[in-house]
A and B are shown apart, each in its own frame.
Chain A
Amino acid sequence: MASARKRSRGESLALRYAILGAWALFCLVPVLWFLSIGLRPRIEIITPQPIYFPTFSLDAWHMIWEDWPMGKYLRNSVLAIIGSVIIDLILAIPAAYSLSRFEYKGRDDIGFYILSTRMMAPAIVAVPIFFLFRNFGLLDTIWALMLIYAAINLSFVTWIIRSYMLDIPKELEDAAKTDGAGELRILWEIIIPAILPGIITASVIAMIFAINEFLFTLLIASTPDAYTMSVALANFTGGSDGVIYNAIALVAFLAFLPVFLVVVLIQKHLSRGLTMGAVKG
């Protein structure tokens, strides 16, 4: 009996690893494929015959750094994204606090309105936003990108943080109040530490959205001054050189890498964050 159970335990463990392994492979193969494309000569990529022993080449690597100001694009991306997340958090945390804690008329309607801004098709606001930014003289600047990314993500960052705040027992704030703490101190010392996983989760998702943002970036950035990785990718698709696949693959990989690293680093908080809203206690 006991050994039978043990064996089936071992089998189910093996099965579990097999399933997880298959899933990991399924997710990783495209990424590795991309990397391999990026690190091969251009000729080799467009030949119709299968190649079993690919040649390694840093052509694309040299091309993106030397012929193109990729460093600048990367910097633009990072600055715009980090700036936008900071703006989002500064605005979303107090908003979420208000939406989750204070009782006032129309509170839930405001909450829903904030979320509904996300439901609009971006193309509808593209033209007005272009003129708005032009009038403010913000076209072709990182500042504009920061603002636009922040605006796109603000609603759901607020919403996620709010749902985490709703999970904090009200008694906790009551205790802090009777202990003599003011609202801001309660927010800073009690609430924010308690919802840190939620803040991290929201920030990572906002970063992913921002790094993939294309439409508004294209609209606002007209010179390399404000080009980001996502728009830079588009540069390899046209012009007299044709589609430069290996450069595209490499840039796509580079755009993917930072987010991937961030997620791996904060994995513990992230998984806790994604489930914390569901289970009380």
Chain B
Amino acid sequence: MARIQLNNIQKRWGAIWGVRDVNLDIADEEFVVFLGPSGCGKTTTMRMIAGLEEPSEGEIVMDSEVMNEIDARDRDVAMVFQGYALYPNMTIYENIRFPLRMRGVPKEQHDTLIKRAAGLVELTDYLDRKPSALSGGQRQRAALARAIVRQPHVFLMDEPLSNLDAKLRQHMRVQIKHIQRELKITTVYVTHDQIEAMTLADRIVIMDKGAIQQIGTPDEIYNDPANTFVANFIGAPPMNLIAGVMEQGTFTAPGVRVDGLPAKHDGKVTLGVRPEDCTVTADGGHLSGSVYGVEPTGDMTYLTIKVGDKLIEVKAHRDYRADLNSDASVGFDPKRIYIFDTASGQRLR
């Protein structure tokens, strides 16, 4: 129920930069996921949206109202904190009830709302316990329940599922997406988990060192990375990046030779190719080296090839096996080759 615009947002504490120049336009009802390495400014950005931190520069606009001066409690957001922030002296029931009391939700609705929220996160049996008597995952779900118990303008969720086991995490993911769609609430979500990002997001925001590296749908982020950071950050295992030289459409690096690339990119470039866009060939492929590791996982085999002093990851057929140090040759899908400027890391198109 809110559009959120971040215009040239910066945040610094003295000489320490939290966030440098963030521009982001989050549409009403959109689900945006922040993804980035630890310390890149995800929490800081979120706290500025919540009003818990004042930007050093720039404007935060919600539904065309500038929010910079508006107090956190008047912004009508619900937030799941990275450290849960449950009230230690209150039971889980009272914790979940707290926002209802503060926001003046009629008393007779409380019980129903609390039970429903607790049910969604499967905590119904723990309502009369204090937070200290819960496990880490249960506390995290209690924090989630406290956020979803009412209908705010905006959901802000800072790694709300980080402490759950795989099964519960998958289940909660579905619940969160469902609630968000049903209530049509603009949501900003922070995670380190790529699968979570890919499955939940309308758009993903990739951040690094306080700056946005790319904004796009999960498809765009995966298939059309803007720079080597994004290319290397997304995907498991991530994209292979090979630094070399391009001359008249031919890319060469030790052990690597690729013809027929656009000639306009001549110079020092980095070639990127995802492990799943590599195929093991008899010989005469684009890359040749020696087998460094073979890891069968059941549905596929991870093959690591040593080329010069670089390790290249390949997703091979599940029947693929090879001896260590035997010769291996790999071909790239020519339509799936990415070229980056080595110096700046930016994608060359």
**Which A residues have a C-beta under 8 Å from some C-beta of B?**
169, 171-172, 174-182, 185, 189-190, 193-194, 196
Chain A positions within 8 Å of B177 at CB level: none
B81 to A181, Cβ gap below 8 A?
no
Of A177, A179, A182, most B-chain CB atoms within 10 Å = A179
| Interface membership of B87, Cβ < 8 A | yes
Q: Is the CB of A177 within 8 A of B52?
A: yes
Residues on A with beta carbons closer than 8 Å to the beta carbon of B72: 174, 177-178
- Chain A residues with CB below 8 A from B87, complex form: 172, 175-176, 189-190, 194
- B89: A residues at CB distance < 8 A: 190, 193-194, 196
B73 on the A face (CB < 8 A): yes
Please give, as numbers and ranges, the residues of chain A lying within 8 Å of B15 by CB-CB distance: none
CB distance B102 to A174 under 8 Å?
no
Chain B contributes a number of interface residues (CB within 8 A of A) equal to: 26
Given the contacts A171-B81, A171-B85, A172-B85, A178 and B98 also touching, CB distance less than 8 Å: no
User: Known: A179-B99, A180-B73, A181-B73. Contact between A174 and B88, CB under 8 A?
Assistant: no
Question: Are A174 and B85 in contact, with the CB atoms below 8 A?
Answer: yes
Docked-complex contact A179 and B146, CB < 8 angstroms:
yes
Q: Are B81 and A179 in contact (CB under 8 A)?
A: no
Contact yes or no, B83 A169, CB < 8 A: yes
Interface centre among B50, B72, B77, B99 (most CB of A within 10 A): B72
- A190's nearest neighbour on chain B, judged by CB, is B87
Report the minimum CB–CB distance from B64 to chain A (whole Å): 22
- Are B79 and A178 in touch, CB under 8 angstroms? yes
Number of A-B contacts (CB under 8 A): 66
Looking at the assembled complex, report how far the CB atom of A164 sits from the nearest CB atom of chain B, in whole angstroms: 13
Interface core residue of A174, A177, A180, A196 (most chain B CB under 10 Å): A180
Nearest residue (CB) in A for B50 is A178
Smallest beta-carbon distance A36→chain B, Å? 45
Q: B78 in the interface, Cβ–Cβ < 8 Å? A: yes
Partner of A176, one of B51, B71, B98, B156: B98
* Chain A residues with CB under 8 A of B321: none
**What chain A residues lie within 8 Å of B90 (beta carbons)?**
193
Counting CB contacts under 8 A, is B103 at the interface?
yes
Q: Which residue of B is nearest A185, CB measured? A: B102
- List 7 extra interface pairs beyond A175-B86, A179-B102, A193-B88, CB under 8 A: A177-B52, A177-B72, A177-B73, A179-B103, A185-B102, A189-B87, A196-B89
CA distance A180 to B104 in the complex (A): 9
Compute how far the CA of A190 lies from the CA of B98 in the bound complex, rounded to whole angstroms. 11
B47: chain A residues within 8 A (beta carbon)? 174
Q: Does B83 lie within 8 Å of A178, measured CB to CB?
A: no
List B residues 65-99 near A (Cβ within 8 Å). Answer: 71-73, 75, 77-79, 81-83, 85-90, 98-99
Instruction: Assess the B78–A178 pair: CB atoms within 8 A.
Output: yes
- Contact at B81–A175, with CB atoms within 8 Å? yes
Cβ-defined contact, A179 with B98, below 8 A: yes
- By a CB distance below 8 angstroms, the chain B residues around A174 are 47, 50, 52, 72, 79, 81, 85
Are B99's CB and A180's CB within 8 A? yes
16 sample A-B contacts, Cβ–Cβ < 8 Å, listed by A number: A169-B85, A171-B81, A171-B82, A171-B85, A174-B81, A175-B79, A176-B98, A177-B71, A177-B72, A178-B72, A178-B79, A180-B73, A180-B102, A181-B102, A182-B73, A193-B88
Chain B residues with Cβ under 8 A from A181's Cβ? 73, 98, 102
Query: Given that A169-B85, A171-B85 are contacting pairs, would A178 and B52 also be in contact in the complex, using a CB cutoff of 8 Å?
Result: yes
Q: Give every chain B residue within 8 A of A180 (Cβ-Cβ).
A: 73, 99, 102-103
Instruction: Compute how far the CA of A180 lies from the CA of B149 in the bound complex, rounded to whole angstroms.
Output: 14
Which residues of B lie under 8 Å from residue A193 when comparing CB positions? 88-90
Residues of B within 8 A of A169 (CB): 83, 85
CB distance from A203 to the nearest CB of B (A): 18
Kindly provide the distance from the CB of B159 to the nearest chain A CB, expressed in whole angstroms: 13
Q: Which of B50, B52, B73, B77 has the most CB of A within 10 A?
A: B73
Task: Return the CB mask of B274-312 against A: 1 if under 8 Å, else 0.
Answer: 000000000000000000000000000000000000000
Q: Name which residue of chain B comes closest to A179, CB basis.
A: B99
Q: Which 7 A-B pairs have the closest CB atoms?
A: A180-B102, A193-B89, A175-B85, A179-B99, A171-B85, A177-B72, A178-B79
